[in-house]
Amino acid sequence: MLCNTRSAAVPSLLSSILLVSSVFSISNLAYANNGGVHGPNVKAGTSSAELRMNTTNTDDARDGREQYRAHYQRAFSDSLQVRLVLQYRDFGDFEYDNAKAEFLYNYKKASSGKYSAGLRLDLRTRRGQRPEDIALHWTHQYNFSSSVFARAIAIIDKNVSENGAGDKPTTIASRFSLTRKLESGIWLGAELYNSYGELQDIDDAEDQQHQLGPTIMYSHQSWYVYARYLHGLTSATEDHNFQFRLGKRF
């Protein structure tokens, strides 16, 4: 049970996050980058559900002005976890965007040391004529202590149906994070997202997409709230991106 001081901090933290979220919502913004820097670790019998909201200042109407994501995940063993994802967007009208199934295999456990690793296979189908794709995430986590850890992910994504140009490109990306848990129960961190372009033709530095920014999360019993801000580091990247999550563990 959390002490009274921690419990009293929950309304204050929620109020701050909702205030920031409302500022983004009333602006002429769009939603993008609803991903995360997920870890490799799986524990049998655990499950959770999560809602996400994402926004950015992009003028590219392909992403829509708002994106909302819901997912449910369950670990069927100490090695295998399955997550089902459904995403909607506000593209003038509220509409279905895509659906995805994710299969995470935790092949290296941290019980034998501070390092753990896993592979995640993603299968996604999209609305309309946009291409379906499969992706492979090679994810790693290193625990510096019980309260500090780092994560790194390498991603290969392959279109399995043709895009608008008639191609089936393979793209590469990476993600990194560093997170620390405070005694108050708040988790603070930083995340970096990188998209390098097609595997056969890597983009020039300024045409690549890179985002960096801080994160904050607070857990109370089985519930948690999370907020993230990312700033674009290249001219090809949106300047500002904000994400809010609300989740429950079962």
pLDDT in tens, 171-227: 999 999 999 999 888 999 999 999 999 998 899 998 999 999 999 999 999 999 999
Structural domain including 228 reads: 4-249
pLDDT at 17: 41
pLDDT mean over 235-244: 89
The pLDDT of residue 168: 83
State the total domains in the chain.
1
Average pLDDT, the chain: 85
**Higher per-residue confidence, 163 vs 86:** 86
pLDDT on residue 198: 93
Q: How does pLDDT run across 113-145, given as a tens digit for each residue?
A: 799 999 999 999 998 888 899 999 999 999 999
The domain that holds 133 is classified in CATH as 2.40.160.40
Q: Flag whether pLDDT at 162 surpasses 90.
A: no
Q: 154 or 20: whose pLDDT is higher?
A: 154
DSSP states along the chain: ---HHHHHHHHHHHHHHHHHHHHHHTSS-B-------------TT-EEEEEEEEEE----GGG-SEEEEEEEEEESSSSEEEEEEEEEEESSSEEEEEEEEEEEEEEE-GGGSSEEEEEEEEEEEESTTSPPEEEEEEEEEEESSSSEEEEEEEEEEEESS--TTS---EEEEEEEEEEEE-TTSEEEEEEEEEEEEETTEEPPGGGSEEEEEEEEEEEETTEEEEEEEEEE-STTS-SEEEEEEEEEE-
What percent of the chain shows pLDDT beyond 70?
81
**pLDDT at 57 (0 to 100):** 66
Give the pLDDT band of residue 3 (cuts 50, 70, 90).
very low
* Over residues 5-24, mean pLDDT: 43
Mean pLDDT of all residues in 84-112: 90
Model pTM score: 0.84
- Residue 76 pLDDT exceeds 80: yes
